[in-house]
Structure formats: structure tokens, C-alpha cells
Structure 1
Amino acid sequence: MKKILLAFPLLLITVHSFGQQFSQYNTGTLYDSFENPSRGTFIPDSSRKFAFNFFLPNLSTNTFLTGNSQIPLKSRAFLGYYTTTNLTFNQGKMNRFNSNINYYSLMFKAFTNLEGNAEIGISVQSKAEARGLFSDETIALYNGPNAFADNHYDNIFNNQGTYQAYHQLSFTYREKINRKLALGVKLSALMGIRYQKLETTSSSLDINRPGDQALLIMRGRYHLNYNPGEFTGRDFLPTLRNPGLSAGFGVSLRTRDAFNLQFNLKDLGFIHWSNRSSIYNFAAADTIFQFSSNRRERNIYEAARHITKTNQKIGGFITPTNSKIEISANKNYWLDYDNQYKYSPTFIISKEVFFDGITAALVNPVQYKNYTVTLTTSYNNYKILSVGGQFMIKTPNVEFFAGSERLIPTARLALASAKNNGQINRNAAYTGEDIFFGAAFKFGPLIEHPLNASYVPIDNKPGFIRRIWNRLFGSGDDY
């Protein structure tokens, strides 16, 4: 993956993984309850009172790349050189990348109220979000002057891209109002790590073949958050330099015909990047020296860096998180008379709030005792069809899951990384990877109803949200 990053220095964006994970919907895992806050993770008379991941990573990550650059980038990453296979010139062909990582390092929840079926939790997670468009000619540039038939080109590097990474410290509260309705909220403090945004509005390239040089000219805008010195691994540690807030809300509703509906607004938030950050309104030129040498990658990077870091203005700015609105419908079906095999399909529509992404997904889990196998299909507005799978082991107090929502592209990329020429030279609808996994455990006293309890409960009054609900709408369980 580090070699692939060399292909994007003109964008000045460090590409991390981007993902949208549907397979955990309605699983009742600890991960599901933090991503969809109206979902419960405890089962009275079966579960222990506390749920914790014991600092085991719960991770969701994926990336996709579309366009003609797939073969050149794979050949550079895994064979050490670029090709110009499928690349076009002066046709305005663009390549799209989209990427994200969602990593929970800590998840803890407690069941606090049997009557209100209430849960509270805290979590610590880290996220990275990236997206962008870049031209075929951008990749051809790294193959040197022989990739270009002419000596002058206009507007072939009009690229754009955004990348931000941040930590998220969250508090969640979930309460079951009655037999049909549950509400949940997730409130988070954000700590920005890194932000970069590049928009190039005009560009040109003039090649001096006898001098083995090229003159690169670009105009546009570049945002870069403040960082004291060169960015290093220490800068991933949480600080209050770039504060932010986000909120998420969820509603779970069970209908009379046994459908389980969910409505989620996920992590609607903003980050204020330090007032010492930089905004560059660049319009400059620089020379790429030794254009045909094996140092050209570094020389191209330095030329682009010198151009984009001109006409600096110091000041803070505010950016949104990649919030989503999601609606889902689920229903359970028993596949046999003995009720051993359960099929629980979930249909999901997900729309990004601040961007144009929209995805439809169908999740198909089949459960036998404590084992669940899931087939997931999804399709988005970028015309990308994905097929994935998940394996999960889940008891009332232990859970483990792993899978991929893009099985075939992930396998192809793994084969390409093993220097399989057939996969390296394959220009598919898209190149991508997707991996997710997690685990959690419950401990403490057993959650017991009063008639089954081995002790007498002291405080069993309705939860906070239900008390307000009862005052407004009455105390009946039906409505």
C-alpha cells in the first residue's frame, strides 16, 4: 500500500482506507450498538451486565479506485514500475478514489435499568475519510516524458481531493420506550489529526526533452491544517489543537406485522481546524528536473509541493464529518419447523449528508445456533456493485465476527500483491479492498427479571427518556 501512495503526491493527499459496513446491521453486537445507537446489545435473563472489547480492535476498512489508472497503479505498487496501459490523453478521463477507516480501540457498555431496558456506553475510535478525482495524465506523468506524444498540454492536471483524520470520544445512551419503540443517541467530542484539500482549477505541462525537464504550472487552492514541524507518528496522539463535536440519533420501531425498522442519523459533526492552519491560493510554476531518471517521482513531488505551497494565508476553517442518513427494514424468518435456522434479511438505504454518495444494500444472514453466515450485496451511485460475506460467532456473552463486503475485489488485490500478472493487468469495473473484524465480551452479574432474580432489585424505575415519553403520550406499551 505504501508504494501505491507514491502515485498520489501531485494530490498531496495521504490515502487511507474508506469503508461503509452494512453486515453488522441488526446483529446486536457491541459494534452494531455503537454504530446504530438505538440497537440494544444486552438480552435480559441471558446476558451479563457489562460489555467490553477489552481493547481488542474492532475495525472496518475499505477502498475503491475506478478508471483507467488501475493497471498502472497496480504495476507500480507490486512490480515497481508504471505502465501507460489504458491511459488516455486530452480526453478528460478521470479516476475516482474513495476511502475510509473506522477503528474502535475501546468500547464499553453497561445495562443500567431493567424496567427501562436502558444502556449507557463510552467508546474511543479513530476515523479517516478520503475522496478525490484525478486525471489519466496525472498517472502518466510518473512514467516520464516518453508517455507523452506532444510537448505541450493544458488542463490535464485539474484534480481534486480531500482527506481528514480524527479521533472520536463518544457517549451513547439507548432506551427501550415500550415493546415497539427504542431510541438512542451518540454524542461525541472530536480531535482532528490531519486535514488536506486540494482543488486545481487550471494547469499546463511543457516538456523540454533535450534538457530532460518539464515545466509544470498550476492554479488552485490547497488547505492544510497546522502542524508543529513535520508530520510524524507522534501527531496521531490526541490533542485539543483541532476540536470538534458530532451527534448521532437512532430510532428502532417494530411494526404490527413484525418488521423491524431503523432510522439513523450518523455522526453529524464539524471540526474546527487550528487558527494557525494554512490556505494556499496558488498560481505558480516549477521545473521537474531529471524527468526521465529514476528520481522523477521525488522530483515531481517536490515541484508540485513548491507550487501548491505558495501565496499562503494563515487562518482556521471548519469542515464537516462524513455524516450519513440511513433507513433500514428487517424481518425474521424461520427456515425449518424446529426453529434452528433463521433468516433475517435487512434492506438498507444510506445517503451521505454533505456529499453525493448514496448506497442501497441487502444483508442476508442465516443463523444456526450461535453461528451466522451473511451474504451482503450493495450498489452505489458510482455504479459499483459489491458482494460480500461475513462469519460470526455470537452467544449472549461472547461475540466474534470477520468478513469483507467486497470479497472478489479484495481477493483480486491480494493476488495482485502476490505478483499475479493476470490480476495486475486486469482493468475491472473497480479495484478495491474491504476487511472488517471485531470481538467483544460481557461480564458481571446476570441481568434477571424480578420473577427469575436471585436477588431483589432495588431500583427498577423507568428510564429517563421513557419518563418523559410517559408524561407526553401516556404509559401504555401500545400506540
Structure 2
Amino acid sequence: MKNFLLAVCFLFISVETFGQQFSQYNTGTLYDSFENPAQAAFVPDTSRKLAFNFFIPNFNSNLYVTGNGQVPLKSRAFNGKYANTALTIGNGRFSRANANANIYSLMFKAFTSLDGNQEIGISTQTRAEGRGLFTDESLLLLNGPNSFPADDYTNLFNNNYTEQTYHQISFNYREKVNKNFAFGFKLSALLGIQYQQLQIDQSHVTFDRASDAADISLQGRYRISYTPGEFSKHDLLPTLRNPGASISIGTAIRTRDNFNIQFNVKNIGFIHWYKSSIVSEFNTTRTAPDISTNRREDNLYATTYSIIRSADKQQSFTTATNGVAEISANKSYWFDYDRRFKYSPTLILQKEVFYDGYTAALVNPFQYNNLVGTLTTSYSNYGIFSAGLQFMVKTPNIEFFIGSDRIMQSVSFAAAANKSETQINKSASYTGADLFMGFSIKFGNVIEHPLNSSHIPLGDRPGFITRLWNSIFHKDRND
């Protein structure tokens, strides 16, 4: 059965499973170095010169839904019916949905110069970004007209959603300019997979109860880059049909009191969707029949779909990626003289560049030798508080991590998916799920300073950025 809610409110939620992943900050893992370009992946005199994930996916996927729509959505998804718990009419209440996925299929990095302390890397990844708002009344309508006491309503169905997925092929460069400052960047070519957006600016419904029908009027815009029903696994393969580009830039500063400050602007880019894409500026009225029968979802879907596709035009368009700006502060504390116990908290402030979202997070890693346990807490301007756990094994040349930045919500969501009535009907500040995992190995020769070297050094030159920095400020590298 086609689902009207997914079509009108947030289709993206069924595509991939949002939010940024914070637990990896300042871990020095290969994943961390690709996500935060100024972060080092290698430690001289300790690790080897090459790092690779051996095509084992390193990923982060997450999802949340807020508002009164949580219980009805879980009930519909896992029990096949809508429970109208707490839904209201005429109060302007809405639910917010957000979903994101980031999957690295290839990560390879090399330490190229000891003197320049340079690292270069290449990566391939697939990203999905989605967000949406939908009103309480949109869910109530799916259960039939009996919840609506009046016959006419205006602007109760002003929903919107956006989702896009794309491949990303990247080149990373990181250089330690001097002992207190490092700079890095990530240049990416983007290959769009699919895009879909719906924005309803005005809406009206009139119920004809004698005929068991509803006249629905919608005005807004719809954009889609593919033909629904014809998208196949073949379309997931990288092509140049929807090209784009993005950039991430990061700096790392070490202060005199040993604080590590990072500034990042990440994933700022665009995708140009090809000329056979569809844009519809619609303003149309249609009649949905049999809205009290068990065919109401199909009928409402068909009616709404015919409205939003009523002004189709083939044309290209350009969209932005979900870029973010961040600042973080980190400091490490050793609890014993043998340096086996370490606590290294990081405070992060993040702002979405093209949207109104911002988040504060505190990452608390506790390390004993090569074992790390991390407690992460975060709070967003949408009123979402999250707490997560990470377990990591990190030696100089092997790293593995697994965790969730929304641990309790993920457990509750899994129980609801297993048809637990308690969790399906549970009222919470939000419903969410989150999982991330990664693995990589370093190999090759050990990075050695000349005094410790087991071979004759070849005289590495400082990196380009260092030479430019020194020429501008007339500084020696050791200053």
C-alpha cells in the first residue's frame, strides 16, 4: 500500500537512516582525519606510514522524529495502523523529522614528509541528507474524516521535506605548519544519486461527508531528479549526470596551556541536477474519494500526487549540501605517572550553514592503555538532548570503534520495531536511532625521526603551506 504520509511529509525517512556524529572528535582515527581535515592520523616514531580501511565500510547513520507524530508513525510502521495519541487540530502543532547517513567505502592515507609533517589521502563515500516538517492534521487525515468536526479547514497541511543522496570522491591534505598550528582541507567531486523536495505553502480541505470525499487544494513547489517507480539499483552506480563539488577546511591550534582548538567548515558544496529533472509550481484542487474506507491512504496519496505533479516541467536545478561550521576545544589529563589512564574531553559547538540548526556537544573519552570508552552528550536548538556511548580499541596501527550517539533512543526504537507495544506507544521528547562503526589498519615503514631512524633519511622538504607561511611571516620552522 502506498503511504500518503511518506509522499507528502518525509519520504526521505524510508531511504536512509541525521545528525552529526561527535564521538570521533580528537580520537586520531582515520575516520576522524577525513571528517576533520586538520586532524592528524599518524604519530611520528609510533605509527606506520600508510593507513587503509581495506574496503570495510566506516559509517554513521542516524534518525530522529519529534512532536506528536511519534506514536502514530511508529504504530503505522510496526503495527499497520495509526494511533492518534495526542494529535491536535488547529493548534499549529507539527513534528520534525531528520535523517542522515555517511558511509565511507574507501579510505586511504599516507604520511608523505616527516619534515613537513604532511598527510595526503583519498576517499570514496556515499551520503544521504533529509529533513522535513509535517502537521498533526496530516496524520489525523490518514485515519479518516471523523477526527475533523468542521467541514472546511485552511493551511492545516503546510508540510515540507527535502532529501538528497550522492556519492563523494575526495582528496585530503593535512600539514602541520609549525608545532602549534596545523591546516587541512578536503576537496570533493560529488555525483548526485537522487533528489526530492516538496514545499506546501498554502492548503485547504473541504469535506463532503455525504459523498465520503474531500476537496483538497494545495499551492507550492515540488522538485524531483528521477522518475518514481523507475529508480533501480543500477541508478546507484556513480555517473556524471548530476555533477557537483564540495570543500571542507579545518585548522588546529595548540595553545600555551595545552588546549587544542579546532575550527572546521565542512561539506560546503552544491549538486547540479540534470535537465530531465522535474520542477512543478503547483496550485490545484482535486477530489479524494472514499476517505472513510480502507482505501483512504491510496486515494489520498493519488489525489495529492496528482496535485503536486499537475504543473510538471523538465528543467535542471542546483541544490546545496548540508554544510556545517564548528569550533571545538580539547584538553587531555593523565591520571598516573605511567600514562595509562587518560581523560580527554572535547567541547563542540556546531551550526548548520544553510539551515537554522545548531548543537552543543560534550565528548568524554576515558582511556586505559589501548581501550577507550566514550560518553557523549549533546543538545540542539530543537530541544533534543542526546546521550551516547562508544567503545574503541586503538593501538598505534590498528583501530576499531562502535557506538551510538543516541543509545537509549536506539534501544527503544529497536524494541518498537520488534512490535513492543510499550515502546510503540511510549511518549517521549523524541524518537531516534543512531549507529556508527569503523575500522582501519596502518602498515608500511614506521615513521621515524632522523635520530631514531633505522635507515638513512632522504631529506624531506617542508610542505607548500609551511613554505608559504614562513615566507609571509619570515619565520623559522622551529619558532
Query: What is the rounded CA distance, in whole Å, between the counterparts of 1:432 and 1:422 in structure 2?
Result: 16
* Aligned CA distance change for structure 1 residues 273 and 468 (closer, same or farther; 3 Å): same
Mapping 1:140-289, distance limit 5 Å: 140-226=140-226, 230-289=230-289
Contact 2:8–2:198 (8 Å) recurs in 1: no
Mapping 1:306-325, distance limit 5 Å: 306-325=306-325
Contact 2:144–2:296 (8 Å) recurs in 1: yes
Query: What is the rounded CA distance, in whole Å, between the counterparts of 2:12 and 2:228 in structure 1?
Result: 18
Which range is displaced more, 93-102 or 323-332?
A: 93-102
Q: Are 1:290 and 2:252 matched, yes or no?
A: no
Could you list the per-position Cα deviations for residues 277-335 of structure 1 after superposition, in whole angstroms to 9, with x for gaps in the alignment?
Answer: 22111111223233233332222221111110012233222111111110000000012
The aligned amino acid for 1:335 is F
| Alignment match, 1:121 | 121
Structure 1, unaligned runs of 5 or more: none
TM-score normalised per structure 1: 0.96
The aligned amino acid for 2:427 is N
Q: Are 1:14 and 2:37 matched, yes or no?
A: no
Could you list the per-position Cα deviations for residues 141-166 of structure 1 after superposition, in whole angstroms to 9, with x for gaps in the alignment?
Answer: 22123333333322111111111111
Report the number of matched residues: 477
How much is the aligned-residue C-alpha RMSD, in angstroms?
Answer: 1.8
Query: What is the rounded CA distance, in whole Å, between the counterparts of 2:80 and 2:166 in structure 1?
Result: 32
Q: In the TM superposition, what is the alpha-carbon distance from 1:226 to its structure 2 partner? A: 4.5
* Aligned CA distance change for structure 1 residues 449 and 345 (closer, same or farther; 3 Å): same
Contact 2:3–2:297 (8 Å) recurs in 1: no
Contact 1:328–1:348 (8 Å) recurs in 2: yes
Could you list the per-position Cα deviations for residues 253-295 of structure 1 after superposition, in whole angstroms to 9, with x for gaps in the alignment?
Answer: 1111100010101011111111222211111122323323333
Query: What is the rounded CA distance, in whole Å, between the counterparts of 1:390 and 1:10 in structure 2?
Result: 36
* Aligned CA distance change for structure 1 residues 434 and 105 (closer, same or farther; 3 Å): same
Contact 2:12–2:99 (8 Å) recurs in 1: no
Tell me the SS of whatever aligns to 1:252: strand
* Aligned CA distance change for structure 1 residues 111 and 362 (closer, same or farther; 3 Å): same
| Alignment match, 1:349 | 349
Query: What is the rounded CA distance, in whole Å, between the counterparts of 1:442 and 1:224 in structure 2?
Result: 42
Contact 2:3–2:301 (8 Å) recurs in 1: no
Q: In the TM superposition, what is the alpha-carbon distance from 1:477 to its structure 2 partner? A: 4.2
| Alignment match, 1:449 | 449
Q: In the TM superposition, what is the alpha-carbon distance from 1:6 to its structure 2 partner? A: 6.2
The aligned amino acid for 2:8 is L
Q: Are 1:382 and 2:364 matched, yes or no?
A: no
The aligned amino acid for 1:132 is G
Tell me the SS of whatever aligns to 2:121: strand
Query: What is the rounded CA distance, in whole Å, between the counterparts of 1:250 and 1:94 in structure 2?
Result: 36
Q: In the TM superposition, what is the alpha-carbon distance from 1:109 to its structure 2 partner? A: 0.4
Query: What is the rounded CA distance, in whole Å, between the counterparts of 1:173 and 1:5 in structure 2?
Result: 45
Percent sequence identity over aligned pairs? 54
Contact 1:384–1:429 (8 Å) recurs in 2: yes
| Alignment match, 1:69 | 69
Q: Are 1:464 and 2:464 matched, yes or no?
A: yes
* Aligned CA distance change for structure 1 residues 45 and 21 (closer, same or farther; 3 Å): same
Q: In the TM superposition, what is the alpha-carbon distance from 1:386 to its structure 2 partner? A: 0.8
Contact 1:180–1:478 (8 Å) recurs in 2: no
Contact 1:10–1:300 (8 Å) recurs in 2: no
Q: In the TM superposition, what is the alpha-carbon distance from 1:10 to its structure 2 partner? A: 1.8
